[in-house]
Amino acid sequence: MGQPGCPTAGPRPRPCGIALFLLALIPLTVASSAKSPLGRDDERFDEELVVRPLSGDHVNTYFQFTTRWHFGHKDNLYHTQLTPRVIAELLQQFDVKELHIGLTQGLWRYETWGYPIVEATSGAEMWAWFSGDNNLTDSEVNSQWSQLANVFSGVLCASLNFVDKTNSISPRHLLRPQFMPAANRKNFVRYSALPREIVCTENLTPWKKLLPCGSASGFASLLNSGHVHNTKYHSLGLKVRTLCEDNSEDNCIVELTQTANLVYDLRLFEQSSSSSSNGDFSLRRLFGMGLNGYCELAESSKMYVQRNEQGERYQLVPPPSPENEEVRSTRGGHTAIYGVYDMHEQFKDHGERLFNVAWLAPKSENRRRNMVKPTPPPLTVHRYLLGHGQERGRIATEITNSHYDALPILVQEVIPWYVHGYLHTLSVRKKPQRVNEYGRQRIPFKLLHYKPGKQRELPSHLEIGFLLPGQTSALITIDVDYLLLKWLEYPPDANHGHYIGSALVSSQLPMGRNYTALPVEGYLFRDSFNATRPSYVLSLHTEALIVSLPTPDFSMPYNVICLACTVVALAFGPIHSVATKMIIVGKPTTTTPKNFIKKLLNKVFRRGGQPAAEGAGKGAGTGAGDGEESREGAAGDAPPGESELPGTGHLDDQPLLEDLEEND
C-alpha cells in the first residue's frame, strides 16, 4: 500500500503520500477566501444559529459570530470599529497569523451524535501559527507564544497562563495552516492543551464582550449562563486568521470567528417539569427566554433548523416563512435539509416582542416507533489506560474504520513529562470489527515522528501515520512509567489524579456522511451548503486520561499540626492562669493542730459553733443606725493596707489562704 519512495518499514520511516494529504489540500483552497467582496476599510458582521435534533433525545445548538475586516495595511489596525481592539493589538504586537482557542466542558459522543461542526477537546486547547521574516527564530516564537497565552488568559479569564514549554509542542504533520503562507517566510506552529481546565460563567461573560453587540441583542442574548452550563456538552471557541491576497501585506483581511456549541438533554427537562413533554422543546425552554431581536450591526442574522434525519419527526411552530424556502444541501453523497428563519424579516415590524420557535414531537405512544436510528459515522476513536498499580501502565488508543475502503490515519500524542514513554514498545495491531480480541497482526507505520520529553521541562511528542483497512479496528499501545513528583509539584487535590491530554486523530473521508464541518475557504455556515469536495478532512479528539501517580500521605502534616495545636492549647491555660492571677495571702485566726484527732475535733466543734457566732453578730447590729455606724467605724479604723474586699467579708473572720508556715 505504500507509495514509491516511502518505505513501509524500517527504523526511521520517512513521510509519504497518505500522511501528506493535508499539505496539498488546505493551502490551495484558502486562496478563494482571501478574495472577499469587502472594499477597503470595510467591516462585516454575521450571526448564525444552527439547531439540529440528535439521537437519544438530545438537541445540538451551534452559534457562530463572524467579523471580517478588510484593514488593508497593518498600520490601519489602530482604528477598529467592529473588531475588538485586543485582536488588533494582537496582530500588531505578535507575528501571529492564525489562532485557535477552545474551552470545552463535556465529551462529544461521535457514535450517536455524528461529527460536530467545530471540533474541540475537553478542557482548554490552544494553538497558533506564527509567520515572520527570515530573522524569526524558535526562541522568539516561544517567547511570543508564552506572551500570547498570558494575554488571552486575561481576556477570557481562563488559566491559559499555565501554557508554557512543559506542555507545548511543535506539530510536524497534523495541524495545517488555514491561511495563505508566504513563500519567502518561515512558519512556526505551537500547540498546547490543559485538560484540567473547568469552563464556567467567568469565561462566558468576557467571551460575549468581544461581540459587536455584546449580549444585549441578537443570538448572543440567548446565551444565558444558567442554561448554558446546565447542558451535557458546551464549548466556547475563538478563531483568528489573517488572509492576504496575492501574499501582499497591503491587502489583508482579519477574520474573527466566535463559536458556541451546546448539547441539551431533553430528558432532563422532562424530569424538571411536572408534566410529560413527549420530547417537545422550544427556544424559550432551552435558553430560558425568547429571541429579543437581531444585532443592529449584523449584515445577516439567520437561524437554520435541520428538518431531515432526527428532525424529521418534529413539527415547527411557527413554520419558516414562504420567502425562505427549505435549503437542500448535498455534500459528498449525503443530503441535509434545513429550514431558514431570517431575523431581519421576523423583526421588520417595529414593536417589542420575543420570537420563539417550538419543536412539537408526536404523541408518547408513537414516540419510540418514530425514532430514527442514527447512521454510524465512518470513523470513531477511543482511548483508555491498561495495567494496574502506580508504577507503570499502558496507553491504548483504539480507532475503528466502519467504511468499506481504507482510510489514511494521522495520530498525535502529547505525553506529559511526569509520564515516561518507551518508543520501542509502540505497536499498532489490527482486527476485523466482528472479532472481539486483537491478535498479533500489525499495521506498518507510514510515518513516525517522535521527540522524547525531559523531566520538568518538555513533554513527549509522538506523531504516527498508517493506512487503516476498511471494516477494521486498530489499537495503538505504548508502555509508560509514572514518575514520583516533588511534594510541591502535586495539585491541591493530589488524590484526584493527573491528566493526560486527549490524542488528536485526523483522516481524509471520501464521503460526507455525518460531516458538518465548514470548508476551509468558507467563513459562514451557509458556505457548507452543496460544498462537495473530492475528500473531506476530519479531525477527532479522544478522551482525556487520568493517571494515579505515587502520592504521599498528605494527611500526616495535618495530624502533626492538630497535635501540636492541642498541646499548645492545653499548656496555655495553666500558664496564663498562673501568670495573670493575683494571689492574696491571709493570716489564719486560729492555729491548726498537728494531731489528726485534734484536727478532726476542731473541724466538728468549728462547724457547730459557726451558727452561734453568726447569730451573735446579728444581735449586735439591731440598733437603729448603730449597725451602720459600727460598720463604718470598723471600716474607718482598718489600716489602709488591710481594707475589706467587696463580697469577701472580713479577712480576720475567714482567711483567703492558710499560712504556709505552721506554728509549733
The per-residue pLDDT for range 29-67, each reduced to its tens digit, is 454 454 455 555 588 999 999 999 998 889 999 999 999
Positive or negative, the Cα torsion across 204, 205, 210, 216? positive
Q: From CA 34, how far away is CA 38, in angstroms rounded? A: 10
**Ordered strands of the 358-360 beta sheet:** 281-282, 358-360, 315-317
* Number of CB atoms found within 10 A of residue 634's CB: 11
Task: State how beta strands 281-282 and 358-360 pair.
Answer: antiparallel
pLDDT of residue 81: 87
Confidence of residue 597 (pLDDT cuts 50, 70, 90): confident
Q: Which of 276-290, 323-337, 586-600, 614-628 is least confident? A: 614-628
Looking at 3.90.1150.10, 3.30.300.30, 2.60.40.740, 1.10.8.60, the CATH number of the domain 1-31+379-510+517-547 comes to 2.60.40.740
Q: 3-state DSSP call for residue 476?
A: strand
Please tell me the predicted confidence (pLDDT) of residue 1.
Answer: 37
pLDDT-wise least confident of 62-71, 145-154, 580-589, 655-664 = 655-664
> Of 601 and 289, which is predicted with more confidence?
289
Return phi, psi of residue 194, to 5°: -125, 90
Task: Look at residue 273 in the predicted model and tell me its pLDDT.
Answer: 57
Residue 6 corresponds to which cell in the numbers above? Answer: 516511502
Domain with CATH 2.60.40.740 in the chain: 1-31+379-510+517-547
| Higher pLDDT among residues 513 and 454, named by residue | 454
| Amino acid at position 607, single letter | R
Residue 164: per-residue pLDDT: 93
Q: What angle do CA 224, 523, 145 make, to 5 degrees?
A: 80
Backbone angles phi, psi at 543, to 5 degrees: -75, 150
Whether the CB-CB separation of 498 and 195 falls below 8 Å is answered with no
Mean residue pLDDT of the chain comes to 81
Amino acid identity at 276: S
pLDDT (tens digit per residue) in 146-198:
999 999 999 999 999 999 999 999 999 998 888 877 666 788 999 999 999 98
Q: Residue 456: left (phi > 0), alpha (psi -120 to 50), or beta?
A: left
432 in Cβ contact with 472 (< 8 Å): yes
* DSSP label at residue 663: P
Residue-wise pLDDT tens digits, 603-630: 777 765 554 444 444 444 444 444 444 4
Distance CA 274, CA 384 (A): 40
3-state SS, 319-374, equals CCCCCCCCEEEEECCEEEEEEEEEHHHHCCCCCCCCECCEEECCCHHHHHHHCCCC
Q: Give me the mean pLDDT over the 117-135 stretch.
A: 89
| Average pLDDT rounded to a whole number, residues 95-104 | 93
pLDDT at 5: 37
In terms of pLDDT, which residue wins out, 107 or 279? 107
